[in-house]
Amino acid sequence: MPFVSAAEWTPPKSVQVVVIGSGAGGAVAAARLAAAGFEVVVLEEGGHYQKRNFRMREDEAFPQLYQESGTRATKDLGIAILQGRAVGGSTVINWTTSFRTPDLVLDHWQKVHGVQEFGAAELRPHFEAVEARLNIQPIPLEESNRNNRLLWDGCEKLGYSIEVTKRNVKNCFRSGYCGMGCPVDAKQSMLVTYLPEAVEHGATVVYRCRVDRLRTDGDRVVAIECSELSEAGPTGRQLSFAAERVVLAGGAINTPAVLLRSGLGDAFTGRRTFLHPVIATSARFREPVQAFYGAPQSVASHHFAHRGERAGFFLEAAPAHPMMLALAATGFGEAHRSTMVELPQLTAHLAIAIDGFSPEETGGTVELRPSGAPVLDYVLPPRIWEALQEGLRTLVRVDLAAGAEWVQTGHDPALRISSEGALASLEDHPLGPGKVAVFSAHVMGGAMVGEVGRSVVRSGDLRHHRISNLHVCDGSIFPTSLGVNPQETIYGIAHLVSERWTQHWKS
């Protein structure tokens, strides 16, 4: 039974390696370790859904595939957070955009946070390997949908640099429903690539199995304590077993939560969690845009990623499906309806702030609710609000340059701007908590890598500083955000570090 629910699984007394989490980090690590001959068990909190389950329906996909059914948010409810919760993790529901880690980010990690052995030269062959395995290639501009093409056109007219993105797809028919699971397995997510590869080499993937805590004795994990879940929640059945090695790959927010529930919290665990906070515009065009069809993201502009002393931001497009727009659109009653009826004519464009590169940007902190569930406390600092304000102003200019009749902001109540001359009205509508819709789909940090006494895991092998048989392998290790979509960085680091583990553990 290579893919088995916790209800049907009897845990062994002990295994060689347990991998907690089946997303970008956990799946790559599991496949590499299983191929090297290790006995591997992967534990996943979410369900096992496949293409036959992906019916392109938001009302089904969000409860099945997203953390907290898509309602996860920061503690003050100021930032909505989209994260995956299924076999394959967020790779099942992301929009396929793939970037290598910028060299400037890796250099910053080394100089400021003491991160060693994860430089551009070390990572390059591993990026090349995962790009080949996942068919990560640039999308031709002519295959962009109109939503993305209008972002391209507006940036070009204003002289802003913009590029096509790379996507991890194969034989994509561009349905536009990437965020609800790919109905034809064109998306090369962990669900259809590294996890089946791990299983082929003898790994077992156990789903609907939530890791409650790691029981430790001295400097070692001696037991993994889990709860069996059904689609409705915990069944009451508890599972416990031992493992020689533990790879924690639950993702940012969830990985720190496991550490905290396990009594492994310290001054760094859960801290420096970053979100790439997002602000959006919806612009109306005379001709239909139909932002719900086509590759969701096929262009990106990093023209404003580096703004000197100010926080940078980058621009991308997003799909606009009915439920997503209904949740994102501000206002009530007729004001809300007036946005929804325009859906076929609307773009969905994003300005994404790059957080974590200034001493004043300490990010958010993962805490535990009384139930043990995690919650992120993240109050955006003024530097990030300024980046979002400038990002919003830039998006309005881009949309108008592309020919929009009007551009609507995410203020509550919404503001509609129909000319460059009206841009000044943005100054009368400052951004702040509860005043504008802010989102995140890139959750990073909370178990950062770096020097002893300043981090949670050490450089080189990502081993926990205090627990000798515990390693972390996901986006929670990032000391900052990235300034690009994070999935390929996680793939590359997991590919590299699992090679190091194999060499060290076998010796």
d(CA 170, CA 478): 29
Q: Which residues of 234-260 are buried (b: 16+ CB within 10 A; e: fewer)?
A: eeeeebebbbebbbbbbbbbbbbbbbb
d(CA 232, CA 258): 21
Q: Which two tokens stand for residue 167?
A: 């996507």
- Per-residue confidence (pLDDT) for residue 1, from 0 to 100: 58
* SS3 assignment for 324-364: HHHHHCCCCHHHHHHHHCCHHHECCEEEEECCCCCCCCCCE
Mean per-residue pLDDT for 114-135?
Answer: 97
Mapped onto helix, strand or coil, the DSSP state of residue 165 is: coil
pLDDT over 80 (residue 187): yes
Say if CB 253 and CB 272 are below 8 A apart.
no
- Per-residue confidence (pLDDT) for residue 351, from 0 to 100: 98
- Per-residue confidence (pLDDT) for residue 58, from 0 to 100: 96
Structure confidence by residue, pLDDT tens digits, 61-90? 999 999 999 999 999 999 999 999 999 999
- Per-residue confidence (pLDDT) for residue 336, from 0 to 100: 93
- The DSSP element (H or E) to which 371 belongs, if any, is none
Select the CATH number that applies to the domain covering 3-506 from these four: 1.10.10.10, 3.50.50.60, 3.30.420.40, 3.40.50.2300: 3.50.50.60
Q: Are strands 278-284 and 406-408 parallel, antiparallel or unpaired?
A: antiparallel
Residue 315's beta-bridge partner residues? 301, 351
Structure confidence by residue, pLDDT tens digits, 222-263? 999 999 999 999 999 999 999 999 999 999 999 999 999 999
d(CA 414, CA 281): 10
Q: What is the CA radius of gyration of the chain?
A: 22
Domain positions in the chain: 3-506
Mean per-residue pLDDT for 467-484?
Answer: 98
> By C-alpha distance, which of 419, 426, 283, 405 is closest to 349?
283
- Per-residue confidence (pLDDT) for residue 507, from 0 to 100: 84
Residue 312 DSSP code: P
Place of tokens 């590919």: 495
Structure confidence by residue, pLDDT tens digits, 323-376? 999 988 988 999 899 999 999 999 999 999 999 999 999 999 999 999 999 999
Q: Determine what percent of the chain falls in helix, strand and coil, rounding each to the nearest 5.
A: 30, 25, 40
Mapped onto helix, strand or coil, the DSSP state of residue 478 is: coil
Q: Which two tokens stand for residue 214?
A: 């790691």
Mean per-residue pLDDT for 372-396?
Answer: 98
Q: Which two tokens stand for residue 269?
A: 């665990």
For 487, list phi and psi in degrees, rounded to 5: -60, -40
pLDDT over 70 (residue 198): yes
- Per-residue confidence (pLDDT) for residue 327, from 0 to 100: 87
Please calculate the CA angle 49-50-54 and round it to the nearest 5 degrees.
Answer: 90
Residue 185's beta-bridge partner residues? none
